[in-house]
Amino acid sequence: MSLPIRNVAIIAHVDHGKTTLVDALLKQAGTFREGEDIPDCVMDSNDLERERGITILSKNTAVRYQDTLINIVDTPGHADFGGEVERVLGMVDGCLLIVDANEGPMPQTRFVLKKALEKGLRPIVFVNKIDRPQATPHIAIDKVLDLFLELGADDDQCDFPYLFGSGLSGFAKATLEEDSEDMRPLFEALLKLVPPPAGDPDKPLQIQVTTLDYSDYLGRIVIGKIHNGTIQAGQQAALMREDGSIVKAKVSKLLGFEGLRRIELETAAAGNLVAIAGFADANIGETITDPNDPQALPLIKVDEPTLSMN
């Protein structure tokens, strides 16, 4: 059950096509797999499409390409969510920067990109909507490079890999001249260019609480990355609070991501992103850890206000 993993954040200014692109990846990931039922993705009304869009952006999404699980996490684009952006970027080893081929980088692109560069991530740039007649992909790429330079990206970051494509038409390609009918080049780029997550499954458990969710059935759900160790459904674990105190609780449910759904897991190891029920009063930034060898992860600083970025 332990698949190779890639964790990638997705960055884009509003309307540059994040939802549509992730939807294309979801739909196509199924078609590249053999002998498996894929959920019916056909949308038959605008309402359904809207609802699906909200779901895609508000939840972690995971696609499987060949044998690799690619966890895709959304990053809020607004400066009000500065702290959340940092936490999300702490879960990933790469990011996909989507830029509208006509508009080029916009303020939200800039805000999140700055954070990603500061984290040392090497973004993959996706120049989107090239199906539109007015698209100017080369100008968009030049503007992206200008932005990287302005934001103080290092040489490696400035030598960013890029692809062109259209989430709406469902294709990606490395050059404008090339023919492509699907997202395969983007999947391949994610596998090749996003490093696999670090972390040691044999070390004491450490999961940083990054997002909170709630279900009527399970109560508070903690979402985060397993930085080290291995977690089992039903095990006792310790929650290490900001003040250093420890609360013990049972992992009543362990969930992983698959498409837009969460699937129940028996066990999950370092590198993966999981959702956990059982920690009724966990807070963002705290660490779920081994009760016999509790070790906190460093709290992620929240450097608000970030108003200057707007």
Annotated binding site: 15-20, 128-131
Residue 302 near residue 115, CB atoms below 8 Å: no
Residue 76 DSSP label: -
Stretch that binds ligand GDP, among 85-93, 125-133, 231-239, 282-290 (CB under 6 A): 125-133
Minimum Å distance from CB 53 to ligand GDP?
6
- Identity of the residue, 123 or 294, whose beta carbon is nearer to ligand GDP in the bound complex: 123
Residue 171 DSSP label: E
Binding site residues for GTP, as ranges?
Answer: 15-20, 128-131
Residue 18 near residue 26, CB atoms below 8 Å: no
Tokens representing 162 are 């890029």
Residue 259 DSSP label: B
Residue whose pair of structure tokens reads 């990931």 in the numeric block = 29
Contact with ligand GDP (CB under 6 A) among 53, 76, 259, 291: 53
Give the x/- contact pattern for ligand GDP in 5-24, rule: CB under 6 A. Answer: -------x-xxxxxxx----
Minimum Å distance from CB 165 to ligand GDP?
7
Give the x/- contact pattern for ligand GDP in 127-166, rule: CB under 6 A. Answer: -xx-xx---------------------------------x
Stretch that binds ligand GDP, among 32-40, 124-132, 228-236, 296-304 (CB under 6 A): 124-132
102 near ligand GDP, rule: CB under 6 A = no
- d(CA 181, CA 191) in angstroms, rounded, equals 19
- Identity of the residue, 96 or 277, whose beta carbon is nearer to ligand GDP in the bound complex: 96
Tokens representing 67 are 């044998």
- d(CA 28, CA 8) in angstroms, rounded, equals 17
269: number of CA atoms within 13 Å, CB side? Answer: 12
> In the window 61-90, what residues touch ligand GDP (CB under 6 A)?
none
Minimum Å distance from CB 210 to ligand GDP?
21
- Identity of the residue, 144 or 265, whose beta carbon is nearer to ligand GDP in the bound complex: 144
- d(CA 157, CA 163) in angstroms, rounded, equals 15
- d(CA 148, CA 157) in angstroms, rounded, equals 8
Helices (H), the chain: 18-31, 46-58, 82-89, 107-118, 137-150, 155-158, 184-193
Applying CB under 6 A, the residues found at the interface with ligand GDP are: 12, 14-20, 53, 128-129, 131-132, 166-168
